[in-house]
Structure 1
Amino acid sequence: MFNLANKITLARILIVPFVVILLYFPGKMTNLIAFFLFFIASATDMLDGFVARREGIVTSFGKFLDPLADKLLICSVLVMLSYLGWVPAWITIVIICRELIVTGLRAMAADEGIVIAADRYGKLKTIMQMLACGPLIIHEPLFGIPVAWLGEILLYIALVLTVFSGGNYLYGFYRNWLQETASS
């Protein structure tokens, strides 16, 4: 349960409160430190999966923990960015609602013995959300570049992917449910 890949994932979760605390006190330096920690946490998302596959230590706990860590990181940052007025609250609400719906669907499916794995749209959505949050955390122009503007554009792309991938999960769940009902 506590193999190297899962420890990396747990480290991602442990970084979240530090990012939130730093964003609670916005300023050029605290934003940059929060960005740096967010970047490290985001990078561990790829690292833990790579380690698990390479070492052959993919576990059910890891399959549960990895997407949970992503959701905690992204949702916590978006809540803080909305609190600061840097991200419209409705975007944060849509993203959090999608995450709750998909998590609920996965739990219901798992109860029926059906695994709804992350698809390419869900993975792309997570990557785009992480790419959007980085510049939004920095917020201030960096070397004269308005990075918050880039973050806003990426966030709207992430929002479209979020809604689309959520609909894709709903469709997949419905399709599997129909198959299970027909075979019963």
Structure 2
Amino acid sequence: MFNLANRITLARIFIVPAIVALLMFPGRITCLAAVVLFALASVTDVIDGHIARRSNMVTSFGKFLDPLADKILIGSVMIMLVELGWIAGWIAIVIIARELMVTGLRAVAADEGLVIAADKFGKMKTVMQMFALVPLMLHYPWFGLDPNPAGQFMLYIALFLTVFSGFNYLYTFYGNWLKEGAGRA
């Protein structure tokens, strides 16, 4: 259960309080430090999956923990950015609500013996959310460039992917549920 891949995933979760603490006191240095920790945490998302697959360490605990770590990381940062007034609250609500919906669908599917794996749109959504949050956390102009417009633009792309992938999960769940129900009849 606590193999190397899962320990890396847990480390991603344990980095979140430090990121939140840094964002509680926004300034150029604290925001930069938060971005460095966020980037480190984001990279662990790739590393833990690679290690788990390459070393045959894929576990049920890891399948549960990895997406949870992403949700905690991204959701926490988004909530802090709303608190700071750096992003609109409704965007965070839509993104977090989608994550809760997909988690609920996966739980229902698992109860029915179905597995709804992450698809390419869900993975693209996570990557775009992570890329969008970096310039938004930097917030202050750097070398004469304001990172916020790029962050806001990427955030809207992430929002679109979030909604699209959420509907895709609903469609997949419904299709699997119909097939499974037809097979039982």
Q: Which moved more, 1:143-152 or 1:28-37?
A: 143-152
Structure 2 Cα separation of the partners of residues 130 and 119 of structure 1: 17
C-alpha displacement of 1:183: 1.2
Counterpart of 2:87?
87
The amino acid across from 2:100 in the alignment is L
Question: Which sections of structure 1, spanning at least 5 residues, go unmatched?
Answer: none
Which runs of structure 2 are paired with 1:150-165 in the superposition (5 Å)? Answer: 150-165=150-165
Counterpart of 2:145?
145
Which runs of structure 2 are paired with 1:129-140 in the superposition (5 Å)? Answer: 129-140=129-140
Which runs of structure 2 are paired with 1:29-48 in the superposition (5 Å)? Answer: 29-48=29-48
Which runs of structure 2 are paired with 1:6-155 in the superposition (5 Å)? Answer: 6-155=6-155
C-alpha displacement of 1:54: 1.2
Question: Which sections of structure 2, spanning at least 5 residues, go unmatched?
Answer: none
SS in 2 for 1:151: helix
C-alpha displacement of 1:143: 1.2
C-alpha displacement of 1:24: 0.8
Aligned length: 184
Q: What is the TM-score normalised by the length of structure 1?
A: 0.99
Structure 1 Cα separation of the partners of residues 181 and 138 of structure 2: 50
C-alpha displacement of 1:112: 0.6
Moved over 3 A (4+): none
The amino acid across from 2:113 in the alignment is G
Q: What is the TM-score normalised by the length of structure 2?
A: 0.98
Structure 2 Cα separation of the partners of residues 51 and 180 of structure 1: 33
Percentage of pairs with the same residue: 65
C-alpha displacement of 1:168: 0.0
Structure 1 Cα separation of the partners of residues 50 and 128 of structure 2: 19
